Amino acid sequence: MRRHRLRRTDVDTREAPTSAHQARAAALERTYQRATAMRTARSAGERSRLSTPPPASPGTQPPLAVQAWNRLAFGPAPGDLAAFDGLGPDDDVRLTALVDQQLDPGSISDTACDAKIAASGYTTLNKSLSQLWADHVVADVEWSDRIRPLVETIFVTLLRGVHSRRQLFEVLADFWHNHFSIYGWGFYEAPTWVHYDRDVIRANALGNFRTLLEAVAKSTPMLIYLDNYLSSDDGPNENYARELMELHALGDENYYGTIPRSQVPVDGNGLQVGFVDEDVFAVTRALTGWSLDADPWWDLETGNGGYYYRHDWHDTGEKNVLGQILPAGQAPEKDGLDVLDILASHPGTAKFVCRKLCRRLIGDFPPETVVDAAAQTFLANTAASDQIARVVRTILLSSEFRSSWAAKIKRPFDIIVSSLRAANADLPFIEDHPESESLDWRFYQTGHYSFAWHPPNGYPDFAEAWVSSGPRVMTWRLTNWLVDYNWTDDEYRIDLRAETPAGVRSANALVDYWLDRVLGRTISDSDRTRIVEFMAQGHNPDLDLPLDTDDDVQSRLQSMVGLLFMSPEFQWR
């Protein structure tokens, strides 16, 4: 893919220096530059978002089926709304049934999606981490081959978003990728991206948070992205330790800055409620020696690329983490494992992680009532293998989930996938295909391209980040492209005439059919009238239009549906 080859300058080549001294100097310089970038990314403006009012409500709540499929999924595909209505005698029963079904993805047959993946000819998705390292790192292949695991993961993520029936699982995989965000285009991160997506994020998306936290900590992309693979007792690197506390676990809402640890408040159980820089450095020391099976200083392109603990690099002294003492001389790895235990069971972590889940599934500013309820579930199930699933169930079955429509908007990725699902589209998502290349490039221009956020805080999940002219216009251009004519293949990319039932031909009928299919509800009379007038072009709106024989009528239909994809009503969640 030409763009990916040309973006070679975006990556850190990490060429081996000529001496250990130079190597350490280079590592420290990278640490400084990256830390500076991270601090800049967390600007005062971003921290002030909690004081920003939510977007205005559109008024009437849509049917619960519409709310559910736009929040626990990427939007309904044909038949999904009707299937919801068949899940029980009332909305309470139906929502519970849908949530329980989606929280058990293994019970959902996904053979059609699996067949599309198999037919796409991906070559890296089933490779083990050691195979990825050997084939795409150690082998020193061409750039296009080196990054293929990342590129194929980007395409298969789109494919699954559109076609998988395990929609909640896909939504949560997207959530955890943002929560544990890594810039995927790194020189060593890109070749191992299949491992991170499959073995770390997806393997734990509905499981136990403590297990997920450790899997992330030991994953090759995270070890390299935040430089913990270089952290040792004589050269501690706090990049990962700080992000572990500030972004992955306790969150910056529980950060007390540079004050002494003794001044941090404690809760009713005597537990330190937040962290300070002393804690960050203690965690840094606890995680020294968590490295890679490769030569970190001289030749990283060796070994199998997996996690490797170096006890001779570990700081074995006593450590104080959030007021809890880790004694000196503990067994190998135990300091780091204890840190993960402390963080994963901390009430601050429960609130921070649950607030983000509520923000994703309910609204930009979720009520504290549902955040507290989710946090209680989180803390009551810290040892449960399905802890995350239980938390998500608490959120999705809450009254707040059902009463806050339009408290959130879709981001560009969501709009793209929702549009394709509503239209029942079957576009190719494969490398080196002209249509895939064109879609990929337009996707990149929206500013929400998968796994391409540079700082470790993940893509913003607030409306204000996506309603500006840049991402909005580029997303509109992409949705317009989806319904446009493909002159190369002499056909529409999405043939909406073929998707329209034979008995639906008048302007009124066409508008009502596609309003229901795309939005699942009605719109204002004035907006509907304008759309009908556009389709009728001065003719009686109840007379059948020659959709099957007149190219101009089909062109209007394509434009009309494209307009619905751009409408505010389609972007509300």
The predicted structure's pLDDT at residue 133: 97
On the question of pLDDT at 521 being above 50, the answer is: yes
Q: Which of 512, 495, 508 is nearest to 548 (CA)?
A: 495
Q: pLDDT exceeding 90 applies to what percent of the chain? A: 83
pTM of the predicted protein model: 0.90
On the question of pLDDT at 559 being above 80, the answer is: yes
The predicted structure's pLDDT at residue 59: 54
- Burial bucket for residue 310 (CB in 10 Å: 0-12, 13-18, 19+): middle
- Residue-range domain boundaries for the chain: 507-571
Contact predicate 558/514, CB 8 Å: no
Residue pLDDT, tens place only, 60-99: 789 999 999 999 999 999 999 999 999 999 999 999 999 9
Structure tokens that stand for 176 in this block? 């955890």
Confidence of residue 469 (pLDDT cuts 50, 70, 90): confident
Residue pLDDT, tens place only, 216-263: 999 999 999 999 999 999 999 999 999 999 999 999 999 999 999 999
Rounded to whole angstroms, the Cα distance separating 6 from 4 reads: 5
**What is the arithmetic mean of pLDDT over 186-194?**
97
Which residues have C-beta within 8 Å of that of residue 418, sequence separation ≥ 6?
70, 74, 75, 410, 565, 570
On the question of pLDDT at 30 being above 50, the answer is: no
On the question of pLDDT at 131 being above 60, the answer is: yes
Specify the long-range contacts of residues 83-92, CB closer than 8 Å, at least 24 apart.
Answer: 91/64
The predicted structure's pLDDT at residue 42: 43
Residue pLDDT, tens place only, 308-364: 999 999 999 999 999 999 999 999 999 999 999 999 999 999 999 999 999 999 999
- What are the phi and psi torsion angles at 217 (to 5°)? -60, -35
Find the angle CA(206)-CA(211)-CA(214) to the nearest 5 degrees.
130
